[in-house]
Structure 1
Amino acid sequence: MIQSVSFEKTTFNELPFKFEAGTPDYIGTTGLAKALDYVSAIGLEQIAAHEHELTIYAMQRLGEIEGMRFLGEAAHKSSVISFLVGNIHPFDMGTLLDRLGIAVRTGHHCAEPLMRRLGIEGTVRASFAMYNTKEEIDALVAGVDRVRKMF
């Protein structure tokens, strides 16, 4: 931020450096570099294929649950599934899944105008990544079905 400091005068550095306070995040950039190495070693195509396979599997398995309603079923969707089950409020579903040790997101997901247009208060959202397994999806399905039976 500072080019020089004395008791008489402070001279700020030139742009953009004068807006960069403190020490650069060298720990964060080193971590990012290692993460990129890890992803590169696996391969983006393999990661995408795994996530796609998990998404297809999850859509099939979740689709077996009575009252399941998916919001977004594009053929080439990303590994995110938004859903509702019957008349269960998404917050109730998310809270009870959390108590079962299953992590999902609930709410508007930064799309409140869309939720209003659809006439819903929000959705439950499950997402999958390269580190997820089919066994974890099975646990999600079992948890959602268990919550459904509570209502």
Structure 2
Amino acid sequence: MQLSKKSRYGLRALIDLASAPENQYVSLSNIAERGEIPAQFLEQVFASFRRAGLVKALKGPQGGYQLARNPKYITAAEVLEILEGSYRIADEDVSPESRCYAVSETIQDMLIGPVNQAMETILGKLTLADLQRSYQERATQSEDMYYI
């Protein structure tokens, strides 16, 4: 299982947006530059965010994007659902008449089900505000470091 570049870039861009001063619009070119994200790719990601109502846009010279809701109400699960559709491991579809039915059910019940439940729990509790706060702490720590 792997988190796609689309999801990684989307989360990176939203953390950047959450770090902007309140009520300030941020241009995609600035987000792309700071996050080292291809601008055209970011436009596609933000089109998904806009359709889902996660961000709002303002056109014009002072335009850009800002979050449509407080970051503490945006979960990682919601972001991944917007960008990926579903991040869960798919159930195996095996007929009860199949000789593999018992082993498939065992894998489903003991592996896939618990992993999906754990992801739901973690991603449903993790908010954009949590990610942004951790980013700010790390960025502050790296600014305080110096090398000889």
Q: TM-score normalized by structure 2?
A: 0.26
| Larger CA Rg, structure 1 vs 2 | 1
Structure with more of its chain in strand, by fraction: 1
Whose helix fraction is larger, Structure 1's or Structure 2's?
2
Asked which structure has the greater RCO (Cα within 8 Å, sep 6+), the reply is 2
TM-score normalized by structure 1? 0.26
